[in-house]
Amino acid sequence: MIDPLFLAEAAVNGLLLGGVLALLALGLNLIFGVIDIVWIAYVDLVMICMYAVYFSVQVYGWPIWAGGLLSVALGVVLGLGVHLLIISPILTSAPVNQLLATGGLLFFLQSFATFLWTTDHRSVRLALPRLELFDMPISVARLIAFVLSIVAMLALYLFLTRTYIGTAIRAVSQDREAMALMGANPRRVYLVTSAVGGAMAGVAAALLIIQYAVHPFFGAAFGPITFMICVLGGLGNMVGAFVASFIMSEVIAVSGVLWSTEMGYVIAFVVFIVMIFARPGGILARRG
């Protein structure tokens, strides 16, 4: 029999992991919902930003908040660059070509990172106090990451609902052509969306590097689970992605304690496959 305390600890860890996963999923989903192209290399952009935090903080001795800001700024630049250089020329191409192009970017970024920085695992060490809650050790880094990802998602929510351009972004995701009739240049809306999606990647990178080591294949570790969450929540459905993040992170964390981490991922994939058959439009899709 497993100590219930271990399960409770796993549940808390799952919750904390869910926050950052949700951030990744929302960034990817925002871009997909508006531009209708899946950025296969999204988490690899996160990986590049993680290196930026690592080098600025661990090598050049910047304070962590400055490294975080650098990461967000780099995320914006990468988001704009990916859109202008890769997505924009293939906007009207067949979906399979779009997948190949963003998939190609993934391999490019992996090789680029391996070439420049080797396959070493690099992490940022922060001197953080230990915290215990009801005899459970809680990682303060994870707690900070969770709180900041919730704050970032709240900021995204306010941006999308309270600002003119944010509302226009939602409108474009509902009816691109109708929004052109309102006077919105779709290309400009795409650029803003890509910048915001890139900024989310930058925030996620800063929150991930304080918990995990970065290496060139980081995207391969977090990419698949991020896509699963987006599909599970319904591609383009922001609330669905948010809910799905916590379902998946709990499944992984709890079954990780019950069996093993590998088994946790296996079970997460099984849950995913079952859900895809049961609710192909995503967990929150309207029936009918």
Partner 1 sequence: MLRLSSVTAGYGQFTALWDVSLRVEAGEAVAVVGPNGAGKTTLMRVISGLISPRSGEVSFEGHPIGGRPAYEVVGRGIAHVPEGRRIFPALSVADNLRMGAFLPAARRRFAESRARVYGLFPVLAERERQQAGSLSGGEQQMLAIGRALMSGPKLILLDEPSMGLAPVMVLRLFDLIRRVRQEGYTILVVEQNVRQVLKLVDRAYLLEVGRIRMEGRAEALAEQDFVRKAYVGL
Nearer to partner 1, 189 or 201 (CB): 189
Site for partner 1 in 158-187 (CB under 8 A): 164, 167-168, 170-171, 174-175, 177-186
Q: Which of residues 182-211 bind partner 1 (CB under 8 A)?
A: 182-186
What residues numbered 213-252 form the site for partner 1, per CB under 8 A? none
C-alpha–C-alpha distance, residues 80 and 270, integer Å: 36
CA distances to 76, 157, 166, 204, 214 from 170, rounded to whole Å, are: 19, 11, 7, 22, 33
In terms of CB distance, is 72 or 179 closer to partner 1? 179
Show the site string, 110-149: x = touches partner 1 by CB under 8 A, - = not: ----------------------------------------
Pairing mode of beta strands 131-133, 136-138: antiparallel
Please count the residues of this chain forming the interface with partner 1, following the rule CB under 8 A: 17
What b-and-e string marks burial along 273-285, b requiring 16 or more CB atoms within 10 Å of the CB? eebeeeeeebbbe
> How far apart (Å, rounded) are the C-alpha atoms in residues 280 and 284?
10
How buried is residue 187: exposed, middle or buried, by Cβ count under 10 Å (0-12/13-18/19+)?
Answer: exposed
Kindly state the smallest distance separating residue 47's Cβ from partner 1, in Å. 33
Closest approach of partner 1 to the CB of residue 234, in Å: 13
CB of 70 to partner 1, least distance (A): 33
- Residue 180 or 273 with smaller CB distance to partner 1: 180
Closest distance to partner 1 from the beta carbon of 177 (Å): 6
CB of 88 to partner 1, least distance (A): 15
Q: Which is nearer to partner 1, 85 or 178 (CB)?
A: 178
The residue among 121 and 188 lying less far from partner 1, judged by its C-beta, is 188
For the beta carbon of residue 177, count every other beta carbon within 10 angstroms.
8
Maximum CA extent, the chain: 64
**Nearest distance in Å: CB 181, partner 1:** 5
Residue 178 CA to residue 105 CA, distance in Å, equals 32
- Which residues does residue 214 pair with via DSSP β-bridges, in sequence order? 122
Minimum CB–partner distance for residue 171 and partner 1 (Å)? 5
CB 72 within 8 A of CB 133: no
Pairwise CA distance, residues 198 & 75, whole Å: 4
Nearer to partner 1 by C-beta: 128 or 180?
A: 180
Neighbours of 286 (CB within 10 A): 7
Nearer to partner 1, 33 or 198 (CB): 33
Contact positions vs partner 1 (CB under 8 A) = 164, 167-168, 170-171, 174-175, 177-186
